[in-house]
Structure 1
């Protein structure tokens, strides 16, 4: 007995459905997704769970400043840890090795 394959079996095997080939279904799914996201944001606003964009950006800036200071302090910490053996040649060799 021979098995019949579905006309879109190759799409289903890839985890894709036929809706990705139909522009109407793609548009409808995009609209449904937009409505769902909007409803979720309204609900989050009512629950007072939203975080202001400015606050997030300000906190990110503080984190990046701390990260930058830590990265810029590495050569000094490395020099202090190695001591007098940390020479100019070692720096050049490290730069040449892609470190």
Structure 2
């Protein structure tokens, strides 16, 4: 028959193993949740990119069809775009650096 100390030691060992298993399961759960969140964010980014492409296509079409619309958008782009490479896409003058 096992002594109380042996029973306590065995119970403590089982408790440590259970705590280790709980820790592993929590880590696995956190990884699964992180993957789900990453997938959701990727989908949101994809949707955002698609919206921008579609709106951009519409705006470009509007600019091609109507000169006054084109000029209004070009005026807005001239004020909005600051990076030289972005401005070059629309053949806008590149301001000199200060």
Shorter-normalised TM range: 0.3 to 0.5
TM-score by length of 1: 0.38
TM-score (norm 2): 0.38
Higher percent of residues as helix? 2
Larger Rg: 2
